[in-house]
Amino acid sequence: MGTAVIPAEAFYAGLFKVAAAAAGFVTDPSGRVLLVKPGYRDHWGWPGGHVDEGESPEEACRRELAEELSLVRPVGRLLVVHWVPPLDDRPVPLVHFLFDCGVVEDGAGMVLQEEELEDYGFFTAEQAAPLLPAYLLARLTAAERAREHGTTEYLCGSVLE
CA triple 92-47-49, angle to 5 deg: 30
**Per-residue model confidence (pLDDT) at position 74:** 95
Please give the CATH topology (third level) of the domain spanning 17-156.
Nucleoside Triphosphate Pyrophosphohydrolase (3.90.79)
The upper half-sphere exposure of residue 137, i.e. CA atoms within 13 Å in the direction of its Cβ, equals: 14
Handedness of CA 119, 86, 100, 67 (dihedral sign): negative
**Per-residue model confidence (pLDDT) at position 159:** 63
Q: What is the pLDDT along the chain (161 residues), one digit of tens a residue?
A: 567 788 888 887 777 889 999 999 999 999 999 999 999 888 999 999 999 999 999 999 999 999 999 999 999 999 999 999 988 878 899 999 999 999 998 877 899 999 999 999 999 999 999 999 999 999 999 999 999 999 999 999 766 55
**Among candidate residues 58, 131, 132, 50, the one with its CA nearest the CA of residue 94:** 50
Domain ranges for the chain? 17-156
| 91-107 burial code (b ≥16 CB/10 A, e <16) | eeebebbbbbbeebeee
pTM for the structure as a whole: 0.90
